[in-house]
Structure 1
């Protein structure tokens, strides 16, 4: 089983570091306790890895997760156990699209030893351009989360795709001088919360808003890649788990993924989680509720 965790900003919150019970690692521990051989990779950057994290970059997420499966295959014989070829794939939030990217590449046969068995992503932002970004910018989602995700996207993707020349093009003062350093992986979540404004209007310049509202050029091309994770013809069971009125992942995201899968002949099932709560957030609560649901579903598969 491969589990892809949600967004983190601090290197020490990566699964390779947070190996005891915590929000990031608990789902993987739950799956392992249910009897699954479970891998929970770091994304590039977090943990002991070098460099900054390329947030929501599906190609690097996919290779990181495929490499972790291969590492598990090499490691397990030394424990006296063996792995089956079938892989169950799940992930939460950022990890939902990462899970879909891994599932797509496994089904395509990019590694012929592993065989995709089923996919169960949770609360993903599968439609960043047409679902998530509009909701972040128009105030439909939690205000602070909208600030953090917009800032993370611009900083991370500027490193990858050269979206702006200097920070003050897209970020208002005083955040234009601090936001890139805050997103370097060495700052904790509380530090990031304290160092960012409470509203997106206080964060973005008019050009920053326009860039995200009307993506063109390199940003538009990058968004097409990010939003393509559900555009494949699945030959295995797929369940898309989502909470009602999620305040961080727009409801339209799951609809985008379902429609894309169905347009490719898939019969994906959307599983509503109701209104779970964790630390005051339905989005985080969906991770907790879905973990139990996914364990039960995967355990019933033949």
Structure 2
């Protein structure tokens, strides 16, 4: 593992400086096949009442999910998900929090997330917010699974002594409606509102949350983490502030780097390229007028959108999509992705701001894996260079040729989790 030019944390944290730099495009890498050895937690449907639509971040419900009483129990849980539990110092208890928030169109809604508390006598605890990678089913989210890839980093941070907080995102977990994939604004509001709900809930467990929040995220969550960090440094919450930021394997330059890589051959795996292309068109069209009908962009028009309804599993998604981009896309669909125009281009420019239009004051590290077959590593260099132009020397941690289930992309999350737990712990003691 190589770390370059690690800066010392600043003594003061003024609000971040938002820039008006030209925008490019951004998104996040897709999580494929990362949920081995999982067990879904059954959840009753949530009744939506008038009261639930008042007060962003207001806690609606808190349900205890499970307890891992000892560090050994935590290590076993992490090992079942393919993660290292050697750093576990505490047992943990996990809850699902449901809270009020707003959707991608700023309408009142609810969302859920995972809250994991270390079993410790220390009263005042610092929170670590972890944003997870992409899944296709509502249960592909931290509060819905046990011994799972998607929840393991949250547990690892809690077992090291922090409060682990992980949004399920809108439309995932118990949240209603479809998930607005790659929409940084709604990922940010869901993440921030879960932190607010966590702060309200913590005293019921005998603890309080400190002001500084350590923020991390993987794949899709890398961009979500940057969005949350930006919001915290901009003062969007009166209590919380950014302590440090550690995104992992994001596709930060989606339009300029990631989308071209889908068509380059070899940079992104062919099936991953098909899933990325399909999900990009479907998800963006839900919020923006990208196409008039699915038949404009997809050869199998009637079936493609149904696969991204939040009910189909990752396996069904893989089986239901063709194996090549030529089989998936019409000429119009291919042209839109190769040369984004109109509403799609506008949306991509808006989404890209997480690396380009602000100057982080808190310490930042970007984590990546050599040979990542989903989020090509040029994305990380793009983000590092953008921050450098804004006056921030951001170290890049190259985790090397790591592997999880045959994927370096997934392996980066496993390796980075241990590294980030250590780094956040070092910052905590300063």
**What's the TM-score bracket when you normalise by the shorter of the two chains?**
over 0.9
* 1:110 counterpart (218, 236, 257): 236
Q: Using the TM superposition, give the Cα deviation of residue 291 of structure 1 relative to its aligned residue in structure 2, in angstroms.
A: 0.3
Structure 2 partner of 1:97: 223
**Distance in 1 separating the partners of 2:193 and 2:287:** 21
In the alignment, structure 1 residue 126 sits paired with structure 2 residue 126: no
- Please list the CA deviations of residues 240-262 of structure 1 after superposition, one character each: whole Å capped at 9, or x if unmatched: 00000100001111011101111
Q: Tell me the residue number matched to 1:80.
A: 206
Once residues 301 and 371 of structure 2 are traced to their aligned partners in structure 1, the CA distance between those partners, rounded to angstroms, is 32
Aligned to 2:336: 211
Distance of 1:87 and 1:42 partners within structure 2: 18
**TM-score by structure 2 length?**
0.69
| Matched residue, 1:69 | 195
Match of 2:275 in 1: 148
Q: Paired residue for 2:289, among 162, 166, 170?
A: 162
2:341 is the alignment partner of 1:228 = no
| TM-score between the two structures when normalised by the length of structure 1 | 0.97
Q: Identify the residue that residue 261 of structure 2 maps to in structure 1.
A: 135
CA distance, structure 2, for counterparts of residue 54 and residue 292 of structure 1: 30
Deviation digits for residues 11-46 of structure 1 (CA, Å, limit 9, x no counterpart): 11221211x220100111111111111101111001
In structure 1, distance between residues paired with 2:130 and 2:381: 22
- Partner of 1:116, secondary structure, is strand
1:240·1:269 contact (CA, 8 Å) conserved in 2?
A: yes
1: CA distance between counterparts of 2:320 and 2:170? 24
Q: Distance in 1 between matches of 2:240 and 2:268?
A: 38
Q: Which consecutive unaligned segments of at least 5 residues does structure 1 have?
A: none
The structure carrying a bigger strand percent of its residues is 2
Does residue 1:238 correspond to 2:364, yes or no?
A: yes
Measure the CA separation in 2 of the matches of 1:9 and 1:227. Answer: 23
- The structure with the largest alpha-carbon Rg is 2
Aligned residues: 299
The whole-number CA distance in structure 2 between the counterparts of 1:137 and 1:64 is 32
Alignment equivalent of 2:425, drawn from 295, 299, 302: 299
Q: Which has the higher helix share?
A: 1
Contact 1:21–1:29, Cα closer than 8 Å, also in 2: no
2:152 corresponds to: 26
Secondary structure at the counterpart of residue 353 of structure 2: coil
SS in 1 for 2:417: helix
Shift of 1:234: 0.9
Shift of 1:112: 2.0
Q: Deviations over 1:115-146 (max 9, x none)?
A: 10100000001100101111012222111111
C-alpha separation between the residues in 2 aligned to 1:158 and 1:17? Answer: 27
Q: Cα offset for 1:85?
A: 0.4
| Number of the residue aligned with 2:174 | 48
3-state SS of paired residue (2:243): strand
Task: Give secondary structure in 1 for the equivalent of 2:201.
Answer: helix
Please state how far the C-alpha of 1:161 moved relative to its aligned partner.
0.4
Aligned to 2:55: none
Deviation at 1:213, TM superposition (A): 1.1
Q: Is the 8 A contact 2:290 2:342 kept in 1?
A: no
Partner of 1:185 in structure 2? Answer: 310
Partner of 1:38: 164
Query: Runs of 4+ in structure 1 displaced over 3 angstroms?
Result: none
Q: Equivalents in 2 of 1:98, 1:205: separation in Å?
A: 31
Contact 1:242–1:273, Cα closer than 8 Å, also in 2: yes
Q: Distance in 1 between matches of 2:342 and 2:238?
A: 36
CA RMSD after TM alignment:
0.8
C-alpha distance in structure 1 between counterparts of 2:176 and 2:289, whole Å: 20
